[in-house]
Amino acid sequence: MKPVSNVFGRRDQVMSFLLALISLVAASSAVAQGWRERADALAQAAVREGRSRGLVIAWVSPEGSGWVSAGASGNAARPQIDDQTLFEIGSITKTFTASLLATAVERGEAKREDTLGTLLPDLAFGSPQLAQVQLQELATHRSGLPALPLTPEGAKRILFHFDNPYRGTPVEDFWELLGDSSLLNNAESNKQTQLYSNFAVAVLGQSLARKLGTDYDKLIEERILQPLEMRTTQVHAPLAREHLMAQGHKPNFRSTSRWDLDAYAPAGGIWSNAQDLSRYLAAQIDQSAPGAKLAQAIQVAPPQTRYTMGLGWFVDAHMGRQAWWHNGGTGGFRSFLGFEPARRSGVLILSNTAQGVDDLGWHLLLDKPVASAAPALAAHLSTWMFTLLAPLFLWSARRRLLAPPTARAPESAPSRLAQLTRKFTQASDANLDRLGVLTVFVAALFLLSLARSFGAWQSWPMAIWWTSLALSLILGLLLGAAAARLPWVTRRSVWQWLGWGAGLFVMLAGGGVVWLFG
């Protein structure tokens, strides 16, 4: 029979162990709940303050992983946002492309120091400098290649596909550009300053695919997506899952078109969701992702270069803590993905609005302060001033047109100001014609285009603008009916014609520009 004291001693040890285990579980649960509460507060505030129409925030930590969402997807087929909702992730794609380089190095298919000339010996380069650009320089923005090469074909695509500027870019364009001797300018200085280049990373991805005898999207599928079981992620728009795709929005919540990056896909063409990217994030943290160790190894750092970088990953520090990260932005989306290896924690944010979310990610990850996202006072003024001025302008013109001549100016002018007012009014009345009335209507539409582009519609209901447009169209018709008795054109001086032409050009051209690009 064992001594009673030993039995009680062992029982005390067991109880102490159980209490410690319960305390550990409770502490982990509290930390995990802390992640959720902080993320949810940020997400709700982002929607409430007009930073995003809808977003999802996910995190990975030793205490567990999770996600929260707020706002709406903008897709009527599935308005709620969850971890299945698909977003354009933009330049986070560059970390996938850099991982392809890392896997090629690990498999002995290429070296970081390999040049484009070595990788693609069958390609005719425009200069020895182009042929000597290294693969690691492409991945760290030190190649000297421009951010986007300016070509006539590229200008046409931007002009005719302003809402989808990369659409229709074939890979063959890249090989032709690399044959241009003028493509690489100020190469040595750019290698020091790190000229951020979508073109360089696109060339990297397409060159690796060409070297390995496949397409970029197939290479991503085989080497990154399948090993990590990222079943929904896809290069190019996943139209087969259109019901899951979020609608992109401009900063003032106006809808945008999807981007088809075509040959530029390695720089920003991937669509993904919080579920898949949480897998990717976790695999980067524990370095089980294909090519992760090499891709995260620091390649360049100040003072030799502007940014500290691995292959595709930026590295930043705050209050002695270091994190690897990349963000993304397209016409209607913003994203952030970052992780802190020392604490084995990471954060992901996907937003369907073209307003930055980096500060939200850094706040969750490294406790950096959150920047204010409230629309500027000028945006609020634009919302109301231009929206109200358009119908007011038309109403005032119609009222003056219908007023009898005697009512347009006083009979007597006791003051100099009244005399000038009468003279100006009589001159305006003398030039009243249908062309002038049409110009007034164009001016009203110009004001509405300014309101639509620069108004704070993330804070005010867009119904205000539509109401103003409807009212302006009605007033425009009434104004046109009142002008039926007028001649088409009255006599004008040369200066009046020049002033009219310049004003009309500014309104038509300016209105078109802000309508398309604003």
Task: Compute φ and ψ for 429, nearest 5 degrees.
Answer: -65, -35
Q: Is 38 exposed, middle or buried (0-12, 13-18, 19+ CB in 10 A)?
A: middle
Q: Count Cβ neighbours within 10 Å for each residue of 339-348 and write b for 16 or more, e otherwise.
A: bbeeeebbbb
Q: Cα–Cα distance between 71 and 264 in angstroms, integer?
A: 30
pLDDT by 10-residue block (mean), the chain, 518 residues? 46 53 44 84 93 97 96 96 98 98 98 96 92 96 89 68 81 91 66 85 98 97 98 95 96 91 96 98 98 97 92 95 97 97 97 96 94 74 87 87 61 51 42 82 89 81 91 92 87 85 82 65
**Cα 506 from chain centroid?**
29
Give the H/E segment covering residue 401. helix 377-402
Question: Tell me: the pLDDT tens digits for 294-306?
Answer: 999 999 999 888 8
Q: Report whether 72 contacts 312 (CB < 8 A).
A: no
Spatial distance between the Cα atoms of 508 and 477, rounded to a whole number of angstroms: 20
* H runs (alpha helix) in 225-317: 265-268, 274-285, 292-296
How far is Cα 316 from Cα 208, in angstroms, rounded to an integer? Answer: 28
Helix, strand, coil shares, percent, the chain, to 5: 55, 10, 35
Transcribe 456-469 into DSSP letters. Answer: -TTTS-THHHHHHH
Q: Contact at 8 Å (CB) between 67 and 278?
A: yes
Beta strand 314-318 with 345-351 is unpaired
* Rounded Cα gap, residues 346 and 354, in angstroms: 22
Rounded-to-integer distance, Cα 74 and Cα 273, Å: 15
Model pLDDT, residue 241: 95
- Structure tokens of 209? 């695919």
Give the list of residues 6+ apart from residue 10 with CB closer than 8 angstroms, or none.
none
In whole angstroms, give the CA distance from residue 475 to residue 391: 7
Contacts of 415 (CB under 8 A, 6+ apart): none
b/e map of 360-389 (b: 16 or more CB within 10 Å)? bbbbbbbebeeeebebeeebeebbeebbeb
SS3 238: coil
pTM confidence score:
0.77
Alpha-carbon distance 421 to 407, whole Å?
Answer: 13
Q: What amino acid occupies position 20? A: A
Q: Could you tell me the two tokens for 44?
A: 């709700």
The confidence score (pLDDT) of residue 272 equals 98
Distance CA 178, CA 234 (A): 28
The domains found in the chain, sorted by start residue, are 55-366 (3.40.710.10), 377-517 (no CATH)
d(CA 275, CA 229): 10
Residue with tokens 């933009």: 90
